Chain A
Amino acid sequence: MTVRALCLAPGDDVAILLTAVAAGERVHLSGGDGHLMSRTEIPRNHKIALRDLPNGALVQRDGLIIGQSTEVIARGSHVHVHNLRSLRARPANEATK
């Protein structure tokens, strides 16, 4: 079965998986013939990193910044609350570096 991920906007750092994947599966990206390998298990409708992201990177989804990475994220990894956090409603002393 082909695993597909939706790329919502050009320049996005993440895509949305239309089916769950195990680590090491080939994921086809919508809107072209691009693909990548999943590095981790990722549930359906969750986000996969389209590129290597350093710690503290602003993460773009559907053309908008949805938060900041809290660790180094490798291409193909699951991007979620364990490695991404909101930039909003954060006390000044822990806001964006």
Chain B
Amino acid sequence: METIHTTETGIGSAAPGKEVKNSSLRVDLNLLDSLMALAGELVLSRNQLVQSVSGKNFKAFETATQQIDRITTELQETIMSTRMQSIDTVFDTLPSLVKELSGSSSKSIDLSIEGNHVELDKTILESLGGPLATLVKFAVSFGIETKKIRKQSGKSETGQLSVCAFHEASQVNIELSHDGIGIDIEELTRLAVLQNLITKQQAEAMGVKDQAALLFTPGLVLTAGDDTFALDAVKLGLDKLGGTIEIDTNPRAGMLFNIKLPLTLAIIPSQIVSVGEEKYAIPQANLKELLRIPAGEVKNRIQTVGDAPVVRLRGDLLPLLDSAAVLNVQKTFIHPNDRKTHPDQRKNIADRRSKDLLKSDTVMKADMGSDRDKRKNTDDRRCRAASALNIAVVSAGEFRFGLVVSEFHDSEEIVVKPLGRHLMACRGFAGATLMGDGKVALILDVLELAQVADLKAFDDLVETRSDELEDSQDEKNTGDDTAILIFQNAETERFAVPLNLVDRIEMVDTGAIEEAAGKHVIQYRGRNLPLYGIEQVAKVGQRPKNDQTAVIVFKMDNREFGLLATPPVDSVETEVNLDQKTFKQPGIDGSTIINGHTTLMVNVPDLIRTVEPAWFDESTAA
């Protein structure tokens, strides 16, 4: 059964109707002989197996099973090798192509081909011809100059075009290079902007590699004399084969295309994982490493950037994707008491105590008063081994992320089979395969999963947010944007404090606030936390009497104290243009406009100095 649906991959005449082409295969006679021998062995072993079962002879049964195991493996390998064909079937067409192209122009080209013997799966080879021919045409028309120009620029009259194939790390590399003129990356970027494929800002933000890859942008048209080229089909064709292409270019000295292809598409080594109750296969080619975060470390290693969970891996932030959420599968876990599978209620990957990198040191906690949360606040809730996180670190194209799965199983060689037409709309699967128990497992398409989860935006988020984070931490208030915390006192008045002063935010029941010696305090972690309101110092409205009050906790000079606030409490990054005239008063620095609202900036040290002058006398005396 064909595993790959080859579709039109090349452009123009380069790839005429490949789907019907070459439906017969030339097989080496020796190979066929060994296949015949294996088939014979298989029949013999089958007979042994049948006999051992009918005679209830366990020993013979074992031997037969072992033999069948060995024969199957050999048979599989041999049959696979019949599909392997040397790359010269594709390379052989190149000389005539080059001759034809150079004949019609005043160019002289010397084509050298290496690595004819390199073998590739038939399906890959069939789809390779189109992209390769397009690249050769492009190299000849666009790259190699006419004899005259070459002479003028001090090159030999004959241009060198070389194509070479070689094995490297279970991949086949094909390099196509010439010594003509290469693509000028700046020129290419300008062209892409001119053809409205990217914006100028995008172009400026790109690295050189990304800019070079613009060559394959759909819609980009290059012109060389009378010829026009669109190379997007090359990339598309290679993508379908699981291949990649890279460019190295020098505007004067030439250009190199490096194509990397997998050896075969039919059988791929994979890591088997389970998500919920079902098993899935992740191709090893996409898999970088497996990560298991012990339950106790979840709160330290898993953090969030906004709503998005990330894991710290050797200093990098790696975005996490919850496979159960992306696939919309009910998560399960095996309960340690009864060893049965139960649905997992956990919604978030990150522990609620995990740090949110956006909120620096602030840990948001809601409903601290309710019973349910008192239980959750006991320290080692996620202590069971079963609640460890299993993360498969995968990469595909430009994406690199961690895929959170329920469990890891073995790594297996799996046979890729296509999914039926009813399932074409399901994204994230490269096909299906059969497991040892006879059940079907789906193969995850890592690239598509990333796209389904809109990880691109997510990736940017991590980058920019972590930049911002660094800014806000390194530069404190000197940068243009300051991280500030916005809250209300009276419901009509908005206040703000710099986020870096805030230790944390708590929600407390108003009833739990006690009054002692003219001060408001709340019992917190076995200590008294003094609470103050802005209205004690500044002339502002009174707080409404709600059941719950937000307490913004500050730590200064080893003293902890809380500022009473009315929710919502929110953090923003914004430019603060302080108006120090209109609202300046004790405890208030002035006002600024945030999101269209006049917001009073609270000067926390000043406020405390006013209500508790004694603290500062002590600290200065000491």
Q: Do A and B come from one complex?
A: no
Binding site for B on A (CB under 8 A): none
